[in-house]
A and B are shown apart, each in its own frame.
Chain A
Amino acid sequence: MKDSNKVIIETKQLTKKYGDLLVLDSIDEVIYEGEQVAIIGPSGSGKSTFLRCLNCMEDPTSGSIYFENVDIADTRVDINVHREHIGMVFQQFNLFNNKTVIENIMLAPVYVATKKLNKEKRINFFRKIANVFRKEKKPLIEITATKKSIIENARENAIALLQRIGLEDKADVYPSTLSGGQKQRVAIVRALAMNPKVMLFDEPTSALDPEMVGEVLDLMRDLAKDGMTMVIVTHEMGFAREVADRVLFMDGGVIAEQGTPEEIFKNPKNPRLQEFLSKVL
């Protein structure tokens, strides 16, 4: 609730079951634009599942998820269009192994832009045919982009992003040669290349060597400063405390307590949260 009260993601009665196991128990939660939300909690509490439900990586069993007022849990909605605006960063990086670093970053923007271009061309084609029979001609869509320009734009953007993380010399290598911290930073800028409206981080530093955690957290801190809306599942309590506007403590499939970092870390009220903090701090 930093700059505005514009809601980006809202979950209503979000429930997820694996067979009989209840992982998420009808969660109602709102993510506002520009805020950084950290989700903490013991393992098995459903925090990763909750995060993965936010872009429908896991289909919720029931309930709805509103992303910019569209229920993306509805199977009739084209989820891919909405996922373009939701960046996601994984614990295991998941860079595309068969693509170079720069191809990794360019792939999705080029795909989306090409899809849009083809759609416009298709519409124009049918309009041209229809215009033959129309008295009032419908104007054609003006197409300025070409395939070449799309790729060039994506490349420029990708190089700029790589410069931001200081890895422009690694543009043409394959991900298998990068260190864990470098991989995760590339994964973050891969998500950034789509200009997402919200970024989801699924334990971004848990698979990293301790000495590489810092570089990834620095980049995330940068993003937070730029006002990116972020939802972060993390075990880095120090980071959550420093960066987050709001901390959610999840336990047993529900959000057991939430508040500002001050409230959560200084005066935890929930006994489970007190126990959890005493173990991890």
Chain B
Amino acid sequence: MTKIKDFFKKHWIDMIVITVVIALLALLCASIYVQFNFEKKLNIFYKNFIDNEGYKEVLKGLGNTATIAVLGLIIGIVIGTFIAVIKVIPPYKRIVRYMQKAVSIYVAFFRGTPIVVQLLVGYFIIFPLLRMKIAPVDASVWIFGLNSGAYISEIMRGGINSVDKGQLEAARAVGMPFSTSMLKIVVPQAVKNILPTLGNEFIALIKETSVVGYVGAVDVTMAFQYLGSSSYEYMIPYLVMALIYIILVAGISLIVKIIERKLAKSERQ
């Protein structure tokens, strides 16, 4: 008994705060339910989502979101690793210095402009200029890949710098060239160090894909916008949309954590 009493004595303020918050939340829910005619809205959403086959559009949107995020991340990792390796080459040769200048301009451009601007410029100016007819989703994949490449290059550079210098030296000392040493020894260790950050980058990427509607690609956001605008009832579709994003992000966080633990184990055998 004394334990419970102590607990109450210690945490009475928290208790009150939690109670008040719960009460307020309950009040809010109740008022929403009554004021916004929730039941009717649910019915409309249900009708649009199931009977009018709105779920098909959402599934398509989900597929597109996943495609853009996953392919964008893969392109981003390839570009980012390439840029990071260029940035850590000792700049003895002139060509290396020029390449480093070029990649800095690339990174400055993609980090200095909003992703929406890059999408618009890419889809409506660059691709037409290159005489390329490209679907909105494919264009988004490339632009998100280029964009995340710039961010990942900085992450990767940090990861490469975090690997002990002796690793590269030892690899060079047994006669492997710089590129092979990087690829086989340094980058794998760097990737392990930056895996949590890379997971965050992927989560950010998934959330950022919500703007691809600007160029006409149908992702989760656009799908729910269609769903809402077909009945002028936006509340439920948008709440469900938010929930879907939360579930996506939570799932990815979990996967990243599992991978991280597995990798940590492999070194502690």
Contact = CB atoms under 8 A, between A and B. Distances in A.
A194 interface: yes
A246 interface: no
Interface residues of B, number: 22
B112 interface: no
A94 B180 CA distance: 17
A274 B97 CA distance: 48
Contact of A96 (B167, B172, B180): B167
A95 B266 contact: no
Interface stretch (B22-30, B73-81, B183-191): B183-191
Interface residues of A, number: 32
A143 interface: no
A107 B172 CA distance: 12
A95 B170 contact: yes
Interface string B186-218: 001100100000000000000000000000000
A73 interface: no
Main secondary structure of the interface of B (DSSP, over half): helix
B18 interface: no
B177 interface: yes
B146 to A, nearest CB: 29
Contact of B269 (A81, A94, A96, A177): A177
Interface stretch (A13-21, A31-39, A84-92, A229-237): A84-92
A80 B176 CA distance: 6
A86 B51 CA distance: 75
A112 interface: yes
Contacts of A184: none
A83 interface: yes
Nearest to A193: B174
Interface in B217-269: 266-269
Given A96-B185, A174-B266, A177-B269, A83 B170 contact: no
Contact of A108 (B164, B175, B268): B175
Interface of B: 164, 166-167, 169-177, 180, 184-185, 188-189, 192, 266-269
Interface of A: 55, 57, 80-84, 86-88, 90, 92-99, 107-108, 111-112, 172-174, 176-177, 187, 190-191, 194
26 contacts: A55-B173, A57-B169, A80-B177, A83-B173, A83-B174, A87-B173, A87-B174, A88-B174, A90-B173, A92-B164, A92-B166, A94-B166, A94-B169, A95-B170, A96-B170, A97-B164, A97-B167, A98-B189, A98-B267, A107-B184, A111-B175, A112-B175, A172-B269, A174-B269, A194-B174, A194-B175
* Closest 9 pairs between A and B when the two form their complex, measured CB to CB: A94-B170, A84-B175, A108-B174, A94-B166, A88-B173, A83-B175, A98-B188, A80-B175, A174-B267
